[in-house]
Structure 1
Amino acid sequence: MSVNTWLMTILLGCLAVPAWANTFQTPMGDSEWRVEGSIFECRMTHDIPFYGSGVFYKGAGEPAVFSLKASTPRFKSGKASLHSEAPVWKPGGRNINLGYVSVQQGKDPVTLGESRAERVLAELLSGQKVVFTRKPWYGAESSSRVALSSENFARAYRQYVGCLAELLPVNFDQIARTAIYFPSGRDELRPTELRKLENIAIYVKADPSVESFYIDGHTDGVGGRGDNLELSKQRAEMVANVLRSKGIPDEQISVRWHGERYPVATNRTRVGRAQNRRVTIRLEKGAPQVPDLARNE
């Protein structure tokens, strides 16, 4: 491409942007994407001069999201247009309308769910620039445009994908209170319930701050009280043994059993009884604290 053609391409690119639009974007040649992560979360950040940043984020066990972070509130609440543009160094490219997104006035104006965030990722990976356009909150006639540059994106994206591959399958909030359900009258563990225990073990091995496991066995109201107490004990001990087999220290585990005494649903329906046939697991961080009811009933 000749110098004159290159200059004309840049000029046409500038003319394609409405004169009334105030654009926040990284100058050509200065664009960077930073990747930070661990087994608990992954983050890919793009700094936008005089505006703030755009952030792709995924926590362990959570859907991925994209957020605009403003150093000072700029957008007015409402709807912002979202579209991708061909950069000036790609003559003949086309702009793509990606619809509208919700905006909240403040320093966290835009958050996109997993599907929209993936679409933005795809546009950037294809070399497009992604732009949010919305009028500012302070009543100016000119709209503001916030642009994400695709320059140097692909390299950071590879690092981000690598981080995603190492994320734990769950986070602490998802396993801190877990219920393991059982078939009627039996103490066998279904594959879905074994998977819950596997996820607990995987997380705890990565987070040494989890120090206490309180395991409580329960039954539905079918059968005699003595039989139910014994069955709840068998279920609780089975769950505890599975966790021990996966490396959880025995001294961190407290096991109790209650029979039919503490239902969480009615025993008059099949669905209610299924909810009552359970072993609950409560995880605590920090020094172990024995609760007031830490005794077998």
Structure 2
Amino acid sequence: MKHSAWAIIVATIPAQAGVTEFGAGIDQSVWRLTADTQIECRLEHPIPSWGSGMFVARAGNKINLDFELHGLRAQARTQSVTLGSMPPSWRPGVAGRDLAQLRFYQQFDGLVDGQTAWTMLDELEGGRMPTFQYRDWYRQNNAVRVSLSNVNFRVKYQAFVDCMNNLLPYSFDDIAFTILTYEKNSDKLSAASRRRLAMIGDYLKADPSIDVVVINAYTDSFGGRWTNQQLSEKRAESIKAFFTGLGLDAGKISVEGHGEKKHVASNEEESGRSKNRRVVISMERSSNI
């Protein structure tokens, strides 16, 4: 077990005998941008002899940020954890402050989300050190402090911000199930569905973990049954060609044309028939990004 190279004294988390400190010293502090895509941004910081911490932002239509604290040992029990912000050792006399009271759960990594995670980034940018304090079951319930160093943070932080600004404004869940509709007696998508398919295409280009795509095509009941069956198959194959054109392995794509079967609306009016002229796309992926 290796202690950090500096002593930490915080007004809001009083110093006491028997507290074990973990954190990167000045010559150890490293920040790495370990994911830089339109799907995920990840800024990681190794914590010597303890584990690592990382900020993670993912594609989606909401402002999102998580901080994940990964220990070499799993959490032995569910317990309360104090998150504070401390000055570096070269700023003596500056008081620390509490940021939040958290709950870390047994067998799970520590998680900080929402505004508190953004606050941690702000503290690091301001030259302070977010610090977690808890009672460690592995060390006879003695107090442990785990700190993030601000040394070498700012350069990689700017790259992390740039990555977040490039995230797609929708997630896998937003496009995993899609219904596309068609113009009458045609394999041409409606204008709204063309925009939707383009959005799916942008996501597929950025996420290589998509490994199952199921395409089911349907028609309304106008026209001959055999003609409609062929039309549904043509629509399904057209969507498959779109996906393979993006580089998706054809072996991952399943297509089926159902013709006039399984209507979802009445065929008596055009509004209902337009709903029946559809392709349903379902996707799965191998990793939970």
If the length of structure 1 is used for normalisation, what is the TM-score?
0.66
Distance in structure 2 (CA, Å) of the matches to 1:216 and 1:152: 51
Task: Tell me by how many angstroms 1:126 deviates.
Answer: 1.6
Alignment partner, residue 3 of structure 2:
none
1:69 Cα deviation from its structure 2 partner: 1.0
Residues 243, 59 of structure 1: CA spacing in aligned structure 2 closer, same or farther, 3 A cutoff? farther
AA aligned to 1:152 is N
Aligned equivalents of 2:117, 2:276: Cα separation in 1: 39
Change (3 A) 1:109 1:137: farther
- 1:100/1:236 Cα in 2 relative to 1: closer, same or farther (>3 Å)? farther
Contact 2:228/2:260 (<8 A) preserved: no
Q: Equivalents in 2 of 1:52, 1:209: separation in Å?
A: 27
State the Cα distance separating 1:67 from its structure 2 match.
0.9
In the other structure, the counterpart of 2:215 is: 215
Structure 1 residues 28 and 75, CA gap change in structure 2 (3 angstroms): farther
Between the aligned partners of 1:212 and 1:160, the Cα distance in structure 2 is 30
Once the 2 structures are TM-superposed, how far is the Cα of residue 99 of structure 1 from its aligned partner?
Answer: 1.7
Query: CA 1:210/1:76 → structure 2, altered by over 3 Å: closer, same or farther?
Result: closer
Aligned-pair distance for 1:148?
Answer: 0.9
Worse-matched range after superposition: 209-218 or 151-160: 209-218
**Partner Cα separation in structure 1 for residue 233 and residue 199 of structure 2:** 19
Q: Relative to structure 1, is the Cα distance of residues 266 and 66 closer, same or farther in structure 2, using a 3 angstrom cutoff?
A: farther
Kindly report which structure 2 residues correspond to 1:241-260, keeping only aligned pairs within 5 A, or say none: 244=242, 247-248=245-246, 256-259=256-259
2:9 paired residue number: 13
Deviations 1:251-290 (A, max 9, x none): 9587644356336x798xxxx99987742124689xxxxx
Residue 120 to residue 277, structure 1, CA distance change in 2 (3 Å):
farther
Q: Does 1:162 align with 2:181?
A: no
Percent identity of equivalent pairs = 30
Per-residue deviation, residues 161-187 of structure 1 (Å, max 9, x unmatched): 233345556676764x43225499898
**Deviation (angstroms), 1:242:** 11
CA contact (8 A) 1:210 1:284 kept: yes
Amino acid at match of 1:50: S
SS of aligned partner of 2:142: coil
Cα deviation code 1:114-166 (max 9, x no counterpart):
43322211221121110111111247353111111112211110122233345
SS in 2 for 1:13: coil
Q: Secondary structure at the match of 1:160?
A: helix
The CA deviation at 1:31 is 1.7
SS at structure 2 position matched to 1:117: helix
Deviation at 1:232, TM superposition (A): 11
Q: 1:53 offset after TM fit, Å?
A: 0.9
Q: Which residue of 1 aligns with 2:144?
A: 144
Gaps of 5+ in 1: 1-9, 286-297
TM-score (norm 2): 0.67
Would the alpha carbon gap of residues 219 and 97 (structure 1) be closer, same or farther in structure 2, given more than 3 Å must change? farther
| 2:201 matched residue in structure 1 | 201
The farther-off stretch of 193-202 and 81-90 is 193-202
Q: SS where residue 19 of structure 1 aligns?
A: coil
Q: Is the 8 A contact 1:79 1:100 kept in 2?
A: yes
Change (3 A) 1:225 1:18: farther
State how far apart, in whole Å, the 2-side matches of 1:167 and 1:57 are.
12
In the alignment, what sits opposite 2:179?
A: 180
Cα contact 2:240–2:255 (8 A) shared by 1:
no
1:25: how far off? Answer: 1.3
- Within a 5 Å distance, the mapping from 1:259-274 to structure 2 comes to 259=259, 261-262=261-262
